[in-house]
Structure formats: C-alpha cells, structure tokens
Amino acid sequence: MAHRVVIYGGSGNLGRSLITLFNKNNWEVTSIGTRPNEEAAHNIVVSNKEESLEVQGKKVIQNSNSILNGEKYDAILCVAGGFCMGDLAKEDFLETADSMIKKILNPSLIASKLSTVNLKEGGFLMLTGVADLQSTPGFIGYGIAKAAVHHLFNSIASKNGGLPKNTKVMAIQPATIDTPDNRKGMPDADFSQWIPLDLLTRRIFEYTNGTLSVPQGKMVKITTKNGETSFVEL
C-alpha cells in the first residue's frame, strides 16, 4: 500500500521539488494550492481571491475525503508561501498584507485542521516559518503572517493544542532558499548564503519517511553560511 502525503503549496518551488522526490519514492501525492501540479496524483485547487479561509478549509477537507475514500494521510506538509514588500506608507499596504495572510497563514491553518480529520494516528505534520524573525519594517505583511505561523505552531504543539494523539509535529524555519524565483528576484545576491533547494527537499523527505527522527514539538532553524547548511533545533 502506497504512503500518502499532502504537499500544501505544491505549485511553489519547494512544493514542486518535494512532489518530484516523493513521486520518485512511490508516495501517493496530493497537491493543494492555487494552481495544479501535473506531477501530483491528486490536486485540490483553491482560490485566494474568491474563497474565504472557511470556504477553502471546507473545500480542502471535502475533497480530501473524496480522494482518500476512508483511508488516511501519512503526512501533511505545508510549504505554501509568498513574499511581498510593503511598509506602512505604501498605498497598497493593506492589499499586500492581506495577500501575505492568505498565502502564508491560511494554508497553515487549513493544513493543521486537515490533520485532525484525515491524518493517520502517529502521522506527521510540518509547518513552515522563517529563520531569525524580528521586526520587518519593509515587508510588514510578510512578517506578520510568518509570526502568526510561529504562534500557531507553538500553540498546536503544546498540550491540549488539538492535534490527534501521537501526531508527530515540527516546523522548519528556513532562511532564503536557493530557488529559480529567488535568483530571478535577487540576481546580485550571494547564493553561497542561501539554502540549496535539493538539500532542503531531501531533509524534509527524511523527516517524513522516518530516516531522521522528527524533533517533536520543535522548530528547526535552517541557515547556510559560505556554502555550509546547518539545522538547529530550537
């Protein structure tokens, strides 16, 4: 019987990389996002513009129920994200802040709720925060959304957080990931200080398949300096 995994954010750079690797290892992948992923066995497409958090959540759960047909997921990995600049003085500040909440926080909320419905006992849930989060005056909406994900994780990983019994849960806190989109957006950056996409993908897969023990209830800060990547449990 194939293992089943949800990749929330399956049309993003990290999501696509994860789906490719899980497929190579014969996992049955369900991709959730605003666009379908042609490699995934199943796709659940949601709309940030037309659907509220509640509507998206109900749609994801209903579609998951149909896909699973009484079975359960082994793992739910939320790697959905996005990035917008925007300080308080920008005319479109509220628009960009709203976009960050919809692209970053809402998927984490839905993925967490989905785990209470369709994750196996002892299954694995992973959320994605960001390394070294402090004040973000130039991109406030992004910072708010990531801070909220950190709060969500700390809350659900705590006693009485609502996760099913024996759920393995962790969050990653990556710094900048070396993706084609990031290179396009920041062509003059020092790429030796960025996390290699393939390395991060393999690491997440190893947490998921049990090759590496999940640091239960912890966040893992991931940074790269001079080409060397570290994974630090917080």
The catalytic site residues sit at 142
How far is residue 98's CA from residue 72's CA, in Å, rounded to a whole number? 32
Pairing of strands 168-174, 177-178: unpaired
* Beta partners for residue 169, in sequence order: 125
Q: What is the H or E stretch that residue 15 is in?
A: helix 13-24
37 CB neighbour count, 10 Å cutoff: 24
The pair of structure tokens assigned to 203 is 């690491």
Contact between 147 and 100 (Cβ < 8 Å): no
Q: What is the DSSP string of 172-224?
A: EEE--EE-HHHHHH-TTS-GGGSEEHHHHHHHHHHHHHTSS---TTEEEEEEE
Distance between CA atoms of residues 166 and 186, nearest Å? 41
Three-state DSSP at 50 gives coil
Determine contact, residues 204/123, Cβ cutoff 8 Å: no
Instruction: Tell me whether residue 75 is exposed, middle or buried, using C-beta atoms within 10 angstroms of its C-beta: 0 to 12, 13 to 18, 19 or more.
Output: buried
Chain Cα centroid distance, residue 193: 21
